[in-house]
Structure 1
Amino acid sequence: MGHRFAELLFSDPVKAVQTSENSRELYQRWEQGSDHHDRLGVREAAFLCTSDSLYLASVSPDGWPYIQHRGGPKGFIKVLDERHIGFADYRGNRQYITTGNLRTEKRVALFVMDYPNRRRLKLLGYATELDADSPQLEALRDEDYPARVERGFVIEVAAFDWNCSQHITPRYDQARIDLIMANQQESS
């Protein structure tokens, strides 16, 4: 088996563009590497467990792509095992576009960003919705986070890929800014 991410996304038209842009040879070697990128390892688990947001893409029954931000406290993404992650879905704007889309198409794509360190993990998978009274949802809750949990999602990971850091602008949360400012004041 080759690189699972490439198997799923490098269609013939993608490969044709890679050929015309002179990157096909590079990705052909990548596809044949020993790491299949279909099971989460220690690096991926550590990254996911310290994240406080993700972008989740789904597709409508009419084929329209849709991307939505999901967030929570650091650690709201739970690594359940090497093939599954999950998270509690907190009440938001109540449009329910992603939730509705997942009722007809389970395939999703996720981007998990670490802006300060310019890192990005892309995941492909199949989403399962857990309703609010599902016993499985308890493992995804964070009792210290006051937001209302409406449901949960478990993602069966089909493939993942770490993306390059080029063009990721570092962004910092308030806690990080406060720490930087405190360090500046101490050194002055």
Structure 2
Amino acid sequence: MGRRYSHIVFGPQALARQEHVGSVVAYGADLDSPDTGPQEITDREVRLLTSVFQFHLASITPQGWPYIQYRSGPPGFLHHLGGNRFGFPDFPGNQQFVSVGNIEADDRVALFVADLPRRTRIKVFARARVTDAADDPDLAAVLQRIDGREIATRVERCVTLDVEAFDWNCSRSLIPQFTAEMIADQTAPYAARIVELQDENDRLRAELAALRGESDT
């Protein structure tokens, strides 16, 4: 069964080069089958997409150029709304509205999502829709909550994404990167153990001094 991802990304020039180097068997062969519609989202995609705190969103300008914008929020700010639909809150920004305007003119977008600590990444093609929070307060309320907690920042707009296609990429060239919070969480047990050992060392020194009849003063 052909994947929509291949039908979207592989044009004649890309296929010609694949034929030349022999990689068409691994990639362009998907085009032997017809485009059967959006690829079905599975639990694997949901787990990654709803765990990230950042991604890059590409939209199309009126002049036909790609425009890439960085999006971020608390881990889980990209919500799974069921089926192939995802959504995220649009917070107050610099008031340029480039991505918003692009989406309103052409709803095709692409996401590059990377979990750098785990060296995992996925590319996603979707149809996007922008809704003012005041026009759909119920959706805004859903997107403003993560694991039962409410995001403090006000939601101005809601962006929904209906996924058309996706592709998991190899991790070979990804360099692991960690946030300060991730490092703190990983090193906290070691820091606590160091404090325990320092306290124990101080206690043993005091006991040894007492046995020798030494004074701290």
Among 162, 169, 175, the alignment partner of 1:163 is 169
Separation in structure 2 between the aligned mates of residue 31 and residue 138 of structure 1, nearest angstrom? 41
Give the alignment of 1:115-130 within 5 angstroms. 115-130=116-131
Check the 8 A contact 2:10/2:28 in 1, yes or no. no
Check the 8 A contact 1:130/1:137 in 2, yes or no. no
Q: Deviations over 1:9-68 (max 9, x none)?
A: 1111111122223311211445569xx871211111111111111110001010111000
| Structure-2 residue corresponding to 1:44 | 45
Which is greater in Rg? 2
Structure 2: 5+ residue runs without aligned partners? 198-217
Among 131, 139, 142, the alignment partner of 1:139 is 142
Q: Which moved more, 1:43-52 or 1:23-32?
A: 23-32
Check the 8 A contact 2:107/2:128 in 1, yes or no. yes
Check the 8 A contact 1:3/1:32 in 2, yes or no. no
Check the 8 A contact 1:37/1:161 in 2, yes or no. no
Secondary structure of 1:17's match? Answer: helix
Q: Deviations over 1:91-147 (max 9, x none)?
A: 222221101111211000001110000111111011011112113322211253222
- 2:155 is equivalent to residue 149 of structure 1: yes
Provide the TM-score with structure 2 as the length reference.
0.78
Provide the TM-score with structure 1 as the length reference.
0.90
Secondary structure of 1:149's match? Answer: coil
RMSD: 2.3
Secondary structure of 1:102's match? Answer: helix
Deviation (angstroms), 1:166: 1.7
Separation in structure 1 between the aligned mates of residue 156 and residue 32 of structure 2, nearest angstrom? 42
- 2:64 is equivalent to residue 58 of structure 1: no
Off by >6 Å, runs of 4+ in structure 1: none
| Structure-1 residue corresponding to 2:24 | 24
| Structure-1 residue corresponding to 2:111 | 110
> One-letter code of the match for 2:91?
Y
Secondary structure of 1:175's match? Answer: helix
| Structure-2 residue corresponding to 1:173 | 179
> One-letter code of the match for 1:79?
H
Structure with more relative contact order (C-alpha pairs < 8 Å, separation 6 or more):
1
Separation in structure 1 between the aligned mates of residue 182 and residue 38 of structure 2, nearest angstrom? 31
Secondary structure of 2:75's match? Answer: coil
Structure 1: 5+ residue runs without aligned partners? none
Separation in structure 2 between the aligned mates of residue 170 and residue 45 of structure 1, nearest angstrom? 21
Check the 8 A contact 1:58/1:101 in 2, yes or no. yes
Secondary structure of 2:150's match? Answer: coil
Q: Which moved more, 1:175-184 or 1:4-13?
A: 175-184
Separation in structure 2 between the aligned mates of residue 32 and residue 117 of structure 1, nearest angstrom? 34
